[in-house]
Each structure stands twice: as structure tokens, then as C-alpha cells.
Amino acid sequence: MSVRTTPATGATTESSATARPVAPGRGPGRRLAVAGVPSALGIGGLLLSAQLGVWDESLPGPGFYPLLASALITGAGVTLFLRQSDAELEDATPGETARVALGIGLLLAYAVLFPLLGVVTTSFVISLLWLKVLARESWRTSLAIAVGATAFIYVLFVRLLQLPLPLDAFLPR
Amino acid sequence: MDALNGLTTGLSVVADPANLLYIVLGVLLGMVVGILPGLGPTATIAILLPITFSLEPATSLMMLAGVYYGSMYGGTITSVLLNLPGEAASVVTTLDGYQMARKGRAGPALGIAAIGSFVGGIAGTLALLLVAAPLAVVAAKFGYPEFATMALLGLLFVTALSSGSTAKAFVAAGAGLLLAAVGLDPVSGSPRLTFGSTEMMGGIDFVALAMGVFGLGEVLYNLRHSGEPDVLTRKIRVWPSRAELRQSRGAIARGTGIGTVLGLVPGAGGTLSSLMSYALEKRVSKDPSRFGEGAIEGVAGPETANNAGATTSFVPLLTIGIPSNSVMALMFGALLIQGITPGPTLITEQPGVFWGVIASMFVGNLILLVLNLPLVGGFIQLLRVRIGVLGALTILVSMVGVYAVNVRSFDLFFVVVMGIVGYWMRRTGFPAGPLVLAFVLGDIIDQAVRSSLLVSRGDFSIFVTRPVSAAFLGLCVLVVVWQVVSRVRTARAVRGHRTDHTETAVPTETEGYR
């Protein structure tokens, strides 16, 4: 039962993080999750840095510094591959993984809705869902805290700090 | 009397009612997050960064510093009462503090910790006051090669002292260095690793990175667990007895010394100081068997040391401009968003910030002592706050805050991606501290190495022919050799007795990261 934790976010997903309980430090899936991601990041970095130009004439080029950083990641990543004891991944039940995925979904929804609906509506809706669905609070508690938290955000960021945030249609300008 | 003039300057900054208010707010918030499990000082400071944007530079740094040392006091409370360290530096406090609480001596444990923390904090601040100005004068003579090698040394220290696997710490540090490369090349001005995105041209935003990796990463990680801790509601008598005070005197004095000195070492800060103090107390004790059974010295020493260490870890940041742990990296970021680049010139160009922060620590520690002794019972009630509720408030403050820094929607998505990275790192045991610190140091290293090589026309000998730079490089080599030697030794010891894991199990976490 392979549980994918994250929606499409590129290199940072851990699609191989299976929830099957295996003794710590065993199993190819785990090792891939722990060592494969850094190794891939390092090798990708090496290739990109090489394209930038590592050394021109007698001086280091734009790719010089990223190349060193990528080499460090690659070296350490490969070491992780070789040393099995380091390839540990905590067990997560499918339920827990689903909660984290939902949390990420709510954060992304916040990012999408914020410029469209404005700070107050977005904050209220997302915090209400977070409290009700993720924190499993009662409707009454969730509503009370969501209203309180949204009011806090409005007073702090919009009124006191007067930051240039996208305001909801119903708010005074 | 530079230090005395400086202190006067600093105190006049602190005396501003607005500044005093923010110091109080900072230390209170620090206490609160130190107590609340699930939100550490590093995450809190990261989340506060956008808010400090609208404050004066001195005010912002004084408040953030207050959060840091305030959390050192707060973390003790949960360690003693619940066996739950609220932040990394309080881990050893659980060993004897919780045992004292189980034997009905929670009050004296908390009291002695508050007194020790106060003594350590004040001694550390005094050291900061005396050492900072002379060190800044020396650092002002440093050139590019010295900065490059010093930043490298700091990075090596932090990575070597990080908890768990060194390879993982190096992956994290490498990733931080690589992220720092994104944006325009500082020498040629050509775009690097921007993938054609105009938002990435200006480089990765430090605030979004820190808030994502520390703040949102922690919130996502906490989603995996639910439930609430048992809360002790009994009234607690906090003042230690005279006999207990006498018993702790030596421990507090030694803890002060250890913390003050170790705080200066990059990567050590409060966490390593408290571990070393505990080890020392156990060694000098006439009856070491009492340790782990509720010995008050085992609480007094480490609590003193961690506060002293947390305080003196400001020295490298304020005098040289090199942050020595992840919290200092955040302070560095807080100054950068104010348009101030920390460095040896800070003391002359921003005397209000430099001396103000130092003076604020005297005041802040005093406030904490006064708050701590009578109000411990009230603070404990905070543990009733459920972790999911805290998460909801955290995501709102994070998302709104990160948008406000640059006023662009791109950062909203970027902070979520960094949150996923932070979550993934926690799940797989990669320390987040080295990543954020390397991100800050990476800019310094990139610039300083490239500029050094411009001066020397591509000749690497510039790093070894200058004495100070050569000395820093020599220290780098020593750190690596020491790492390898201790690795081999541990491996041998483990092979010798398979059950003895004490040496590797010690939680020498990078400051601030849990």
C-alpha cells in the first residue's frame, strides 16, 4: 500500500515512502527516499553548474560555487546510499500520511485563494477547515477559534502594521 | 571605558517605552513557545520575521533575542513537569528535573532553573559587553580570504555538531549552499539556477525559506500526532530551600563558565553547553549515582549553561557578522530585511542596534526572573492549548507574513514548497538547522571566495599565505580530523559492546532545531 504524501511538487515528494512497517533501516524504498532524493539533487546540481561555466580563463565562473555545493550534496548522498544504518524513516500510518497531504492541500488552497478572495475570507475558510478536519475540533470550537484567529490577523496585519495585503471586497479601503 | 559608554547608549535605547514593551512581548512569547510543545523558538522567530519588518532595527532584534532566551526559561518547565523538552537545550534537564518532579520537588527544580538561567544570562551578557567591542575592532581588519575561511569553519562546526548522521547534516548544508546560489551571480551578474523564473532572479527569499522549513515544516510534522499531554494543575512552591541553594551554588558557577565559553563556538550555543555542564557536574560530584535520580545540580548546572551559551552565541553575529547557529541565522536575516548587513562595522554604523541588544538582555533576563518565580503555575496552563489549534494560528500568521515581505503571490507557493521540504527532512532525519545556516553562510562564502580569487587572479594560495586565513583553514582541518577520529573510535566501541550506545545517543542537536 503505497501512500503518496504530496501533490505534484517536483523533487521534494517522497513517493517511495511506503507505510508498511519494516524494521528501521531496511527496505529499498526507504533507502531510496533518504539517499535517492539528495543524490538526485546533487547530480542535477552538478549538471546545471557545469552548464553555467565553472572556470573561464584564470578565474572561477558562475558555475564554480554551485558546483562545489552540488559536489558536497552528491558525496553525502552517495554515502547515505552505502551506509544502510542511516536510511531510517519513521513509520507513518496511512491515516497520518493522509492528514499531512490534506494539510499541504489546505496550504496550497490558501496560496491560491489569498489574492482572489482577500486576507479575511481566505484566513477564515482555511483555518475553519484546518480546525474542523485536521485538528478534529467540534464545529463550535472550530468556528470560535477561526473567527478569533481571523480577527487577530486582521487587527495585527491590516490595522496595526498596515501591510499592503489583498483586501476582501466587503472591507473598507 | 568603551563597554561602559556602550552600555549607557544601549540602556538609553532600551529605556524607550516602545522598546521596553517589545522586550516584554519578546520574552513572554519566548516563555510561551518554550512551554508549548510543537512550536520551538526557531520556528517562532522565523514566523515573526515579517512582523519585525515594520519595526525599528534595534527594536526588532531586541524582541527576537527575547524570544530566544525567553524560550530557554520556558523549555525548562515542560522538561521538569512532563519530561517533554520544549526546545533542544532543555533535553538534559529532563534527566534530573523530571525525577525531582516525580519525588514532589518540581517547585525547587523550576526555581533553581530560573535562578541559574538568570545568573547564566547575566554573566553571558557581561561577557558579550566586554568582548564584543574589542573583537569587532579585530574583525574590521579581516579581508575576503578571512571571511571565506571563517564562514567555512562555522559551517563545518555546525554540521559536525549536528545530531544524528553526519552525512545527512552535510546533505542539508549542501542544499542550503546550493539554494544560496540561486539568483544573479554576484560577480558576473548572469542568472544562475533560476529556471527562467523572474521571481527567482533576485535569489531565494530568506524569510520564505526559514518560515517554510522551520514553521510550516513543523506544523505539518505535528499533524501526524494528535492528543494532549496531561496537565499538572497543582500549586507549586517555587523557591528552593537554603540547603538546595547551597547545593547548587557550585553547579551554577561552573555552568556559567562552560556556557559563556562554549557559546562562542559556532554550532555549540546553548545545547552543547547544557550537555557539557551535566557531564561535568556528574564528574565532580561526590556521589555520581544521585544523577538521574533527581539531583538538583543536574538541573542547576545545565540550565545555567544553556542560557549563558545562548547569550554569548550572539558574539560572532554582532562582531564579525557570521551567524553561528540557526537562530543567529534568523537574526542575521532580521537585520538584512532592515537593510543592515551584519559585520564588523555594525558597532560603528548602528551603535543603537549593537549596544541596545546587549543592554536589552540585562533587562529581559530580569523580567524573566520576576515573571518566572511567581507565575509558573499560570504558564503551565498553556499546555492545555491543543497542537492542532496552535497549527491553525501558525499557518495564518506564516502565510500572511510571508506575503507581506515582498507583496507577491509567488512567495505563498514557495513557502509551502519549503514547508514540504521541512516536513520531509524531519521525517527522514535530515537536520534543518544546517540548511538554513548554510543558506546564509553560502552567500558570504560565494562572495568572499570569488572576490579573494579576483584579487589573487585565480591563485588559491591566497587562503594559506595570509596568517589569519591560514589559521582558520587549519582549524577546519582539525575539525574534520577530529570528526574522523571520533567516528572510528565510536565504531570500535560499538563493535566492542553492541549494547553500549551512550556515546552516539547523546542529543547534540544543532542549536534551535528540534
Non-local (6+) Cβ contacts of B1 within 8 A are: none
Nearest chain B residue (CA) to A142? B389
Residue A81 in contact with partner chain B when CB distance is under 8 A: no
Show residues of chain B in contact with A46, CB under 8 Å. Answer: none
Comparing CA positions, the residue from B455, B454, B452 lying closest to residue B463 is B452
* Overall average pLDDT of the B359-365 stretch: 93
Asked if residue A169 has pLDDT above 80, the reply is: yes
Query: What residues of chain A lie within 8 A of the CB of B453, using their CB?
Result: 59-60
Interface test with B, best of A58, A122, A153, A163 (most B CBs within 10 A): A163
Give a three-class secondary structure readout of B142-174. CCHHHHHHHHHHHHHHHHHHCCCCHHHHHHHHH
Rounded distance, CA A112 to CA A73, Å?
Answer: 33
Chain A residue numbers touching B168 (CB-CB < 8 A):
34, 76, 80, 86
User: How is chain A split among helix, strand and coil, in percent rounded to 5?
Assistant: 65, 0, 35
- Provide the percentage of residues in chain B whose pLDDT is more than 70: 91
Q: How confident is the model at residue B428 (pLDDT cuts 50, 70, 90)?
A: confident
Nearest to A62 among B177, B185, B453 (CB): B185
- Choose among B165, B167, B419: nearest Cβ to A107: B419
Nearest chain A alpha carbon to B169 = A76
Q: At B192, is the secondary structure helix, strand, or coil?
A: strand
Give which of A6, A9, A12, A41 to mutate to test B binding, by max B Cβ within 10 Å. Answer: A12
For residue B42, give the amino acid letter.
Answer: T
CB contact under 8 A, B420 and A6: yes
Answer positive or negative: Cα dihedral of B129, B130, B133, B136.
Answer: negative
Residue ranges of alpha helices (H) inside B429-466 are 432-455, 462-465
From the list B171, B410, B418, B221, the residue with the least C-alpha distance to A9 is: B418
Q: Could you give the CA distance from residue A102 to residue A94 in angstroms, rounded to a whole number?
A: 12
**Are the beta carbons of B399 and A107 separated by less than 8 Å?**
yes
CB distance B460 to B454 below 8 Å: no
Compute the average pLDDT of residues B413-419: 95
Q: CA B289 → CA B143, B221, B280, B281, B499, distances in Å?
A: 52, 37, 14, 12, 21
Looking at this predicted complex, what is its ipTM?
0.83
Question: CA-to-CA distance for B259 and B119, rounded, in angstroms?
Answer: 11
Q: pLDDT tens digit string along A7-51?
A: 333 333 333 333 344 344 445 667 777 888 889 999 999 999 888
Closest partner CB to B223 (pick from A69, A100, A162):
A100
Q: Give φ, ψ of B356 to 5 degrees.
A: -60, -45
Is B446 close to A137, i.e. CB distance below 8 A? no
CA distance A100 to B30: 27
CA distance readout (Å), B435 to A44, B144, B234, B425: 18, 23, 42, 10
CB pairs under 8 A between A and B: 203
| Direct distance between the N- and C-terminal alpha carbons of chain A, in angstroms, rounded to an integer | 52
In this complex, do B181 and A69 lie within 8 Å of one another by their Cβ atoms? yes
> What DSSP assignment string belongs to B358-412?
HHHHHHHHHHHHHHHHHHHHHHHGGGGS-HHHHHHHHHHHHHHHHHHHHT-THHH
Inter-chain contact A60–B223, Cβ cutoff 8 Å? no
Residues A112-159 have pLDDT tens digits of 999 999 999 999 999 999 999 998 899 999 999 999 999 999 998 888
A98 touches chain B (CB under 8 A): no
> pLDDT of B253-280, one tens digit each?
999 999 998 888 776 667 778 888 998 9
pTM assigned to the model: 0.81
Of the given ranges (A32-36, B290-294, B496-500), which has the lowest mean pLDDT? Answer: B496-500
Q: How far is A8 from chain B, CA to nearest CA, in Å?
A: 10
Cα–Cα distance measured from residue B24 to residue B362, given in angstroms and rounded to the nearest whole number: 12
Contact A110 B412 (CB under 8 A): yes
